[in-house]
Each structure stands twice: as C-alpha cells, then as structure tokens.
Amino acid sequence: MLAVDVNGVGLAELKGEHCRTLAADLTDPAVRAKVADWAEGGDYLVNSAGIVMIKPIFELTVEDWRRVQTINAEATFFLCQKIGPRLRPGGAIVNLSSSSAKLATTIEVAAYAASKDHDPLDHALLRLCPRLASGAGQRDSAGHCRYAHARGGAGDRGADARRHRRRMAAARNKLVPLGRGAAPDECAALIWFLLSDESAYMTGQAINFTGGLVNW
C-alpha cells in the first residue's frame, strides 16, 4: 500500500512493512506522475485528499478559488486518469466527495462545494465517477464523510475561526437526522466495502453517506 499526504507527520503512524508513505503535494503534476508509476499493477485507488476554505463568498480571491479547485478536483481527476488504467482487472476507485455538492447549507464553503460539483471538470467529483466507470471499466464510487480536512484549511486559522467552525458543525449536525458526523472508522468501513468483492456489481455510484442529510 502507498499512502500519500502533504502532512508528513500524519503519515508517520502508517509507515511500516505493508505501507509505504510519501509526503508530497498532489497538486504537482510531477508528484502525480511519480505516484502513478508506483501504483502500477495495484488494486485500488482512494482519493480522499482535500481542503475546506471557510470564507464568505464575496471575500474569495482568485487565488483562493484556484487553490481549492486544484487540490479537490484537479488532483483527483488526473490521479484517476493516470492510475485507473494501471490497476489490475477488477480494481476499484473510490473518490470522497461531499454533500456540499448537492446542498447549499452555507455560503462560506462556496469554493469547496464548487470543487465537488461544477462544469469545468465534468461536474467534478460527483459527475466524474459514472464517466470513469463507463470509460475505464473500473468500479468507482464517491461518498461523503467528515474527515481531517473538515477541521481546518487555508484562510481558516486562529481562535475565532476555530470557534466559527465549531458553531457551523453544531448547526450542521442539527440538520442531520442522526444528529452527528460520521466517525473515521465508519468512513473506512464504507470505503473497504466499496473496494471489496462484496460490491463487485456496483460501479459508477455516488453513495450518500450523510447520516440521512441527503437522500437523493
């Protein structure tokens, strides 16, 4: 297994006999090419890297917009493009998207939501999966989970920003029928199911893993 993240400290606990790690920025095409070479003959690809930039929509800069799109949409698209054909027959791809692609619950994550569902990258992640499945014959799915990037992001620092994020999370959870976000282990269990033989007849699906927040 190969784990790639821009945060080398976070990767340290994964490094071992059965897992290689690479601390690198996946927005760099050269890094993506290197990862694709290492992935030759692999079985699975899981794209979970991403950032949330919590910033009022009228204060977003061009640089803010491009950073979010490059990390959340562009990196995922080109990793799928380069690694998908190199997977073994029967391999699977899972892309973590977001319920933000379907909802307009807050305008402070507009760039993030757009990176999950907008036209320039074929509707980004939500629309990418069915086309990958049709074009490459891979099993490919997208889901939603509260994971590391939901706790921070560029343009989103300081005590005030942390309090604002907590208020947003609390307000969001009131809308979720189950009343909470998903735990990392729950997300991992869904991802493993999508990669396993038990889901071999599923392909090109967008799974709503949202505690009932989204059901369409």
- 201 catalytic, yes or no? no
The answer to whether 194 and 94 have CB atoms below 8 angstroms apart is yes
Q: How far apart are CA 22 and CA 26, in angstroms?
A: 10
H helix or E strand, kind and range, residue 141: strand 139-143
The DSSP H or E segment spanning 3 is strand 2-5
Set 44, 112, 147, 201: catalytic member? 112
b/e sequence 83-94, b meaning 16+ C-beta within 10 Å:
bbeebeeebbbb
Distance, in Å, from the CA atom of 11 to the CA atom of 105, rounded to the nearest integer, reads 32
**Residue 95 to residue 204: CA distance in whole angstroms:** 11
**Separation between Cα atoms, residue 83 and residue 71, nearest integer Å:** 17
Q: Looking up tokens 């807050």, which residue turns up?
A: 106
Catalytic residues: 112
